[in-house]
Amino acid sequence: MRYYTRNHPFYCGIDLHSRTMHVCILDHEGNAVVDQGIACNPKAFLKLIAPYRQGLVVGVESIFCWYWLADLCQEEKIAFVLGHAFYMKLIHGGKGKNDRIDAGKIARLLRCGSFPLAYAYPKGMRETRDLLRRRMYLVRHRSGLLTHIHIVHSQYNLPAPDKQLHWHSNQAGVAERFASASVRQNVSVDLRLINHLSQVIVELEEYLIRTARVEDRQTYERLQTIPGVGRVLALVLLYETHDWSRFSSVGQFLSYARLVRCLHESAGKTVASGNNKIGNPHLKWAFAEAACLMLSVSERARRWKQRYQQKRGAGKAMSVLAAKLGRAVYHMLRKQEAFAEERFWNSGRRAGNQPALAAKA
Instruction: Please indicate, yes or no, if residue 356 is contained in any of the structural domains.
Output: no
- Confidence (pTM): 0.88
pLDDT above 50 for 69: yes
Query: Hey, what amino acid is at 174?
Result: V
- Domain limits for position 154: 126-213
Query: Is residue 360 one of the residues assigned to a domain?
Result: no
* Strand 10-16 to 20-27 pairing: antiparallel
Domain end marker among 165, 185, 213: 213
Q: Tens of pLDDT along 292-324?
A: 999 999 999 999 999 999 999 999 999 999 999
- The CATH number of the domain holding residue 45 is 3.30.420.10
Residues 251-282: pLDDT tens digits? 999 999 999 887 777 777 777 666 777 899 99
pLDDT in tens, 21-32: 999 999 999 999
Which tens digit of pLDDT belongs to each residue from 97-116? 899 999 999 999 999 999 99
Residues 235 and 297 in one domain: yes
| Residue 355 placed within a domain | no
